[in-house]
Amino acid sequence: MQTQKVIDHIVNWLKDYATKARVNGYVIGVSGGVDSGVVSTLAAMTELKTLLIEMPIRQKADQVDRAKDHMEDLKSRFPNVESMSVDLTPAFEELYKTFDVKDDLYPNEKLAFANTRSRLRMLTLYYYGQLNGLLVCGTGNKVEDFGIGFYTKYGDGGVDVSPIADLYKTEVYTLAKGLNLVKSIQEAIPTDGLWDVDRTDEQQIGATYPELEKIQKEYGTKTAEDYEGRDKEVFLIFDRMHKAAKHKMEPIPICDIPEEWRN
């Protein structure tokens, strides 16, 4: 990958989009992961106002520390960068008490609460974005957004722009190195940070990002019969998740009313 050309292209795209939209810049949720680290740096490079928000919800200390280290690093490098921490744990705890049901009756409760965390962060970003005249900048990559749908609908999927959604995860890591992100971000193990227990992306998905990328690049041209061994296992994982997440990737279905019925 021609790293510097990709960096310059995304920065110019972000700057042009914000200018045409007549906004002041971007707001980005910083998680301590490589995706948000790369996106926030690219936004900072536009020289437009860039607001970084760390939003812990029952968060692990190492994730919080990485996010804060990254925000401090960017502020030291770019005068247009501002940062803030919004502790959403108290708000989430109130929702938890309000929504809580019996796990044995509703086995999907833990997943629903994980998605609730993501949606709580989304509304926080839009709140501060509107206060400051900023667009919400998404941090999803190509595998997550268009491969397996590994994001929360109207959570981290609720954004105004998606600058790295055409980049595979391995390419995002390449950009992280080219952008000279702090080492802890470059070496961070991918995790969505939405669970009370440590659950990496690989543990949740059952495959690594490089394995998924291989399948995604061939998806639609090959079937399960074209693979064997581990590749076939990953194909079946990708195929299952891709089909289950179609509703996230396609426009909201609209029930069309025949025109002759309007008269």
Q: Which CATH number covers residue 74?
A: 3.40.50.620
Which residues does residue 82 pair with via DSSP β-bridges, in sequence order? 51
Residue 195 has pLDDT above 90, yes or no: no
Determine, yes or no, domain membership for 120.
yes
The strands making up 134-136's β-sheet, listed across from edge to edge, are 81-85, 49-54, 25-29, 134-136
Share of the chain above pLDDT 90, in %: 86
Residue 200 has pLDDT above 90, yes or no: no
Q: Read off the pTM.
A: 0.92
pLDDT in tens, 111-146: 999 999 999 999 999 999 999 999 999 999 999 999
Q: Which pLDDT score, from 0 to 100, does residue 41 have?
A: 98
Determine, yes or no, domain membership for 158.
yes
Determine, yes or no, domain membership for 47.
yes
Determine, yes or no, domain membership for 56.
yes
Q: Which pLDDT score, from 0 to 100, does residue 80 have?
A: 98
Q: Which pLDDT score, from 0 to 100, does residue 196 have?
A: 72
d(CA 162, CA 145) in angstroms, rounded, equals 9
Q: Place 103 in a pLDDT band, splitting at 50, 70 and 90.
A: confident
Average pLDDT estimate for 25-41: 96
Average pLDDT estimate for 89-105: 93
Determine, yes or no, domain membership for 45.
yes
pLDDT in tens, 2-13: 999 999 999 999
Q: Which pLDDT score, from 0 to 100, does residue 190 have?
A: 83
- Domain count of the chain? 1
8 A C-beta contact, residue 194 and residue 117 = yes
Determine, yes or no, domain membership for 127.
yes
Range of the structural domain that residue 49 is part of: 3-195
Determine, yes or no, domain membership for 135.
yes
Average pLDDT estimate for 168-178: 96
Instruction: State in Å, rounded, how far the first CA of the chain is from the last one.
Output: 57
Determine, yes or no, domain membership for 175.
yes
